[in-house]
């Protein structure tokens, strides 16, 4: 038995060097699949595994003697690295300063984002946690202003053929099925948004991707945890902020290009899978400068 993803459908192999193993049991304590046990004071593969090794690598990473190797599910010992010293990491105040400095920027200088920075953003996003390894997050990288603009123009052409979704007759028919809240969303947000997108693009004004010099679309697969693309995108956004870039989440594009009528659009841009959740992040050197932030809050916080 193994948890399937688009990248693998078999479990990983656990290799234990009995001569190196000290029987400390740390590997057993961190394996939540029960793939490991202690037999005669040595770590051993367990017969009570729930799914088979999913390749999280926790046991390999925590073993103080290097007795465990995991091979499979896109993981091998070569993926291990020494953790940074605790003294080198950002403290809470430094982290909050990064969070608080970030604003949603939609105004960019006409300057490309260097490949070195793009690589750093992607590398940071790869470190995001995931539901089940290996990651089923996919990226579409539009790495210059011209590519972003072409994508945007094609997206607006796609929207022109999908305007029936926000027509009065369709929303009237669907209201009993999808309820008041979704009806309000379609009438008061989606319909005016589509109209603005299409109308302004025809006049040469880009209110979709704001002439950004870099856009990255994060999406999953039918196997992916729906949260995975959003978490990876958040890591990328914060990495961009740390590199001096302005960033902004664009949430309205994903639902439209994942619509069944957008199959040819997805194929044209190499979007490999339908995805429950996804989001586009735009990046660029900001042409505006904020001196103040705005406090935010949650809808509710319940301690129970």
Mean pLDDT of 267-288: 96
Q: Tokens standing for 53?
A: 């090794």
pLDDT at 67: 98
247 pLDDT band (50/70/90 cuts)? very high
12-63 pLDDT, tens digit per residue, is: 999 999 999 999 999 999 999 999 999 999 999 998 899 999 999 999 999 9
Mean pLDDT of 78-99: 96
β-sheet bridge partners, residue 70: 14
pLDDT at 58: 97
Residue 1 has pLDDT above 80, yes or no: no
Provide the Cα torsion 83, 89, 91, 93; round to 10°: -140
Three-state secondary structure call for residue 272: coil
Residue pair 11/2 in contact (Cβ under 8 Å)? The answer is yes
What is the spatial distance between Cα 122 and Cα 143, in angstroms, rounded to a whole number?
A: 12
Percentage of residues of the chain with pLDDT beyond 70: 100
Q: Tokens standing for 84?
A: 């940074």
Residue 115 has pLDDT above 70, yes or no: yes
Q: Tokens standing for 205?
A: 């004004």
What is the spatial distance between Cα 17 and Cα 1, in angstroms, rounded to a whole number?
A: 24
pLDDT at 198: 95
Alpha helix (H) residue ranges in the chain: 26-30, 58-62, 92-101, 115-126, 145-160, 168-185, 191-202, 228-242, 253-257, 263-268
Task: Find where tokens 């920075």 sit.
Answer: 117
2 pLDDT band (50/70/90 cuts)? confident
Mean pLDDT of 77-106: 96
165 pLDDT band (50/70/90 cuts)? confident
pLDDT at 78: 97
pLDDT at 156: 96
Mean pLDDT of 267-276: 95
What is the spatial distance between Cα 145 and Cα 140, in angstroms, rounded to a whole number?
A: 14
Percentage of residues of the chain with pLDDT beyond 90: 93
Instruction: Output the average pLDDT for the chain.
Output: 95
pLDDT at 259: 87
Residue 81 has pLDDT above 80, yes or no: yes
For residue 43, give every residue at least 6 positions away whose Cβ sits within 8 Å of its Cβ, in sequence order, or none. Answer: 16, 21, 23, 25, 27, 28, 36, 37, 59, 67, 68
Mean pLDDT of 109-128: 98
260 pLDDT band (50/70/90 cuts)? confident
Residue 256 has pLDDT above 80, yes or no: yes
What is the spatial distance between Cα 142 and Cα 43, in angstroms, rounded to a whole number?
A: 47
Report the alpha-carbon angle 158-163-166, nearest 5: 135
169-209 pLDDT, tens digit per residue, is: 999 999 999 899 989 998 999 899 999 999 999 999 999 99
109 pLDDT band (50/70/90 cuts)? very high
Q: Which of 134-148, 184-198, 271-285 has the lowest mean pLDDT?
A: 184-198
Mean pLDDT of 272-284: 96
- Note the Cα 266 to chain centre separation in Å: 18
């Amino acid at each position: 038995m193994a948890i399937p993803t688009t990248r693998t459908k078999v479990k990983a192999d656990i290799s234990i060097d009995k001569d190196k193993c000290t029987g400390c049991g740390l590997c057993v304590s961190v394996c939540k699949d029960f793939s490991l046990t202690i037999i005669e004071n040595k770590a051993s593969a367990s017969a009570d595994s729930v799914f088979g090794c999913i390749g999280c690598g926790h046991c390999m990473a925590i073993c103080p003697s290097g007795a465990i190797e995991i091979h499979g599910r896109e993981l091998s010992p070569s993926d291990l690295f020494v953790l940074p010293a605790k003294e080198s990491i950002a403290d809470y105040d430094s982290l909050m300063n990064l969070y608080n400095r970030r604003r949603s920027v939609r105004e960019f200088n006409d300057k490309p984002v260097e490949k070195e920075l793009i690589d750093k953003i992607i590398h940071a996003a790869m470190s995001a946690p995931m539901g089940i390894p290996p990651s089923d997050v996919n990226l579409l990288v539009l790495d210059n202003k011209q590519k972003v603009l072409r994508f945007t123009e094609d997206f607006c052409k796609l929207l022109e053929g999908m305007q029936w979704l926000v027509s009065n007759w369709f929303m009237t028919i669907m209201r009993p099925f999808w309820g008041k809240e979704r009806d309000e969303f379609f009438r008061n947000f989606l319909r005016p948004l589509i109209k603005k997108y299409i109308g302004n693009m025809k006049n040469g004004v880009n209110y979709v991707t704001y002439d950004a010099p870099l856009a990255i679309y994060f999406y999953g697969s039918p196997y992916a945890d729906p949260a995975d693309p959003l978490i990876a995108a958040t890591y990328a956004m914060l990495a961009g902020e740390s590199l001096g870039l302005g960033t902004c989440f664009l949430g309205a594009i994903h639902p439209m290009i994942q619509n069944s009528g957008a199959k040819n659009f997805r194929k044209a841009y190499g979007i490999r899978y339908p995805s429950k959740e996804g989001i586009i992040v735009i990046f660029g050197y900001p042409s505006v400068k904020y001196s103040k932030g705005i406090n935010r809050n949650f809808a509710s916080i319940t301690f129970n």
